[in-house]
Chain A
Amino acid sequence: MKDSVVNLLVFSLLFAMTALFVVGEYFLYNLLVPGGRGLIFGSPWVAALFPALLIALIAAQYRSVHYPGRFAFTWLFLAGGLFFLLLFSFPAIDKAPSIRSPDAPLLVPGRFLMLEDKGVLFAPPGQTVAGQFTRGVLSIPGNQSPMTMLEGVGFDPLNQRFLLPGEQGGPKSLQQTGPERAYFGYPEFLKSLQNDLFVIYQVLKGSQETQALLYLAQCAVVTLLFLGLFVFFSFKAWPLLQIILVLFMTRVELGFLAYSLVSLPQVVQQWWPGATFLQDWLPVGWIALAGLALFFMTMLTKPRGGKPNDE
Chain B
Amino acid sequence: MSKVGQKFSIMFLLSIAAAALIVVGRLGLGVLLPTWFTLPMVWLPEDLWDGLLYETLAEVVDSIPGLGLCAVMLAFSFWLRPDELPVGSSKGIPASAALVSISLLAILTAGIVALLVLFVQPWLGAKTDAISFRQVQARQLESAYLDLKKAGLTTSDPLDVEARLSLIQRLGTLRPKQNSYAGSERLDYDFELQIIKTHLDMEEFFRLRLLPGVEKAFSETEATVADLLTRSRAELEGGANDAEFQANLYAYTAYRRMLSSIDHGLKVSEEDWAQVRELIDASWSKIRERTLLTDERLKASYFFRKGKSLGDYNFQNYIEAYYGFQELHAEDPNDAEVDRYWKLSLEALRDSVLFRQEMDVLFHVPGSENLVFLNSSVPREVVRIGKLLDTAHGVYVKDFEFFRFSVAGKPLLHWKAPYGRWSDKGVEFQVWEKDKAMPDFPQVFIETPENLYDTTSGEPMQDDDLASPPRFVPNLTVRDLQVISANQPGPQTLETWGLLTEGQTIAALGYTSIPLQSEFVSRLVSPLGYFAVFLLVFAFSWHFRAKESRKRWWFMFPILPFVINFVLEFLVWSGRLVAGGLVDVFPLTTAALILFSVLIFMSIIGLVVVYNQLNVATQRFRERR
A140 touches B382 (CB 8 A): yes
User: Closest residue to A120 on the B side, CB-wise?
Assistant: B372
* A19 nearest CB across to chain B (Å): 15
Which of chain A's residues have a CB closer than 8 A to the CB of B569?
187-189
Contact stretch, chosen from B35-43, B55-63, B545-553: B545-553
CA A30 to CA B490, docked complex, whole Å: 20
The answer to the question of B129 belonging to the interface, with a C-beta cut-off of 8 Å to chain A, is: no
The residue from A28, A138, A140 contacting B577, defined by CB atoms under 8 A apart: A28
The residue from A144, A186, A240 contacting B544, defined by CB atoms under 8 A apart: A240
* A176 nearest CB across to chain B (Å): 14
A184 touches B566 (CB 8 A): no
B409 touches A180 (CB 8 A): no
The residue from A110, A188, A239, A241 contacting B377, defined by CB atoms under 8 A apart: A110
Which of chain A's residues have a CB closer than 8 A to the CB of B559?
244
Which of chain A's residues have a CB closer than 8 A to the CB of B544?
238-240, 243, 308-309
A240 touches B541 (CB 8 A): yes
Report B556-578 CB contacts with A as 1/0, cut-off 8 Å.
10011001001001100110111
B382 touches A122 (CB 8 A): yes
The answer to the question of B370 belonging to the interface, with a C-beta cut-off of 8 Å to chain A, is: yes
CA A241 to CA B553, docked complex, whole Å: 8
- Known contacts A124-B407, A135-B409: does B560 contact A244 (CB below 8 Å)? yes
Report A171-186 CB contacts with B as 1/0, cut-off 8 Å.
0000000011011101
A180 touches B514 (CB 8 A): yes
CA A311 to CA B553, docked complex, whole Å: 19
The residue from B405, B512, B553, B570 contacting A124, defined by CB atoms under 8 A apart: B405
User: Closest residue to A142 on the B side, CB-wise?
Assistant: B370
B581 touches A28 (CB 8 A): yes
Which of chain B's residues have a CB closer than 8 A to the CB of A240?
73, 77-78, 541, 544-546, 556
Which of chain A's residues have a CB closer than 8 A to the CB of B445?
146
B577 touches A136 (CB 8 A): no
* B502 nearest CB across to chain A (Å): 12
The answer to the question of A190 belonging to the interface, with a C-beta cut-off of 8 Å to chain B, is: yes
The answer to the question of B30 belonging to the interface, with a C-beta cut-off of 8 Å to chain A, is: no
The answer to the question of A25 belonging to the interface, with a C-beta cut-off of 8 Å to chain B, is: yes
The answer to the question of A125 belonging to the interface, with a C-beta cut-off of 8 Å to chain B, is: yes
User: Closest residue to B550 on the A side, CB-wise?
Assistant: A238
The answer to the question of B416 belonging to the interface, with a C-beta cut-off of 8 Å to chain A, is: yes
The residue from B372, B416, B566 contacting A189, defined by CB atoms under 8 A apart: B566
* B19 nearest CB across to chain A (Å): 18
The residue from A111, A126, A136, A144 contacting B386, defined by CB atoms under 8 A apart: A144
The answer to the question of A168 belonging to the interface, with a C-beta cut-off of 8 Å to chain B, is: no
The answer to the question of B543 belonging to the interface, with a C-beta cut-off of 8 Å to chain A, is: yes
The answer to the question of B518 belonging to the interface, with a C-beta cut-off of 8 Å to chain A, is: yes
The answer to the question of A304 belonging to the interface, with a C-beta cut-off of 8 Å to chain B, is: no
A183 touches B77 (CB 8 A): no
The answer to the question of B82 belonging to the interface, with a C-beta cut-off of 8 Å to chain A, is: yes
- Known contacts A144-B399, A147-B401, A149-B405: does B510 contact A122 (CB below 8 Å)? yes
CA A112 to CA B373, docked complex, whole Å: 8
B510 touches A111 (CB 8 A): yes
The answer to the question of B591 belonging to the interface, with a C-beta cut-off of 8 Å to chain A, is: no
**Which residues from 320 to 374 on chain B have a C-beta closer than 8 Å to any C-beta of chain A?**
370, 372-374
A149 touches B409 (CB 8 A): yes
The answer to the question of B411 belonging to the interface, with a C-beta cut-off of 8 Å to chain A, is: yes
The answer to the question of A98 belonging to the interface, with a C-beta cut-off of 8 Å to chain B, is: no
Which of chain A's residues have a CB closer than 8 A to the CB of B546?
238-240
**Which residues from 5 to 41 on chain A have a C-beta closer than 8 Å to any C-beta of chain B?**
25, 28-29, 31-32
The answer to the question of B580 belonging to the interface, with a C-beta cut-off of 8 Å to chain A, is: yes
**Which residues from 295 to 311 on chain A have a C-beta closer than 8 Å to any C-beta of chain B?**
308-309, 311
* A295 nearest CB across to chain B (Å): 27
User: Closest residue to B401 on the A side, CB-wise?
Assistant: A147
CA A149 to CA B620, docked complex, whole Å: 77
Which of chain A's residues have a CB closer than 8 A to the CB of B529?
none
A31 touches B584 (CB 8 A): yes
The answer to the question of B286 belonging to the interface, with a C-beta cut-off of 8 Å to chain A, is: no
The answer to the question of A118 belonging to the interface, with a C-beta cut-off of 8 Å to chain B, is: yes
**Which residues from 119 to 150 on chain A have a C-beta closer than 8 Å to any C-beta of chain B?**
120, 122, 124-127, 135-136, 138, 140, 142, 144, 146-147, 149
CA A121 to CA B622, docked complex, whole Å: 71
B510 touches A238 (CB 8 A): no
CA A180 to CA B517, docked complex, whole Å: 12
Which of chain B's residues have a CB closer than 8 A to the CB of A79?
none
* A21 nearest CB across to chain B (Å): 9
CA A25 to CA B77, docked complex, whole Å: 31
Contacts beyond the supplied A149-B405, A149-B411: 11 A-B pairs with Cβ under 8 Å: A110-B377, A110-B510, A124-B407, A136-B409, A144-B399, A184-B580, A187-B570, A238-B77, A240-B77, A240-B78, A309-B545
B residues sitting closer than 8 Å to A (CB atoms) are: 73, 77-78, 82, 370, 372-374, 377, 380, 382, 384, 386, 399, 401, 403, 405, 407-411, 414, 416, 445, 490-492, 510-512, 514-515, 518-519, 541, 543-548, 553, 556, 559-560, 563, 566, 569-570, 573-574, 576-578, 580-581, 584, 620
Q: Could you list 14 A-B pairs, sorted by A, with CB under 8 Å?
A: A111-B512, A124-B405, A124-B407, A136-B409, A138-B405, A140-B372, A179-B515, A180-B514, A184-B577, A187-B570, A238-B556, A308-B543, A308-B544, A309-B543
A residues sitting closer than 8 Å to B (CB atoms) are: 25, 28-29, 31-32, 108, 110-112, 118, 120, 122, 124-127, 135-136, 138, 140, 142, 144, 146-147, 149, 179-180, 182-184, 186-190, 237-241, 243-244, 247, 308-309, 311
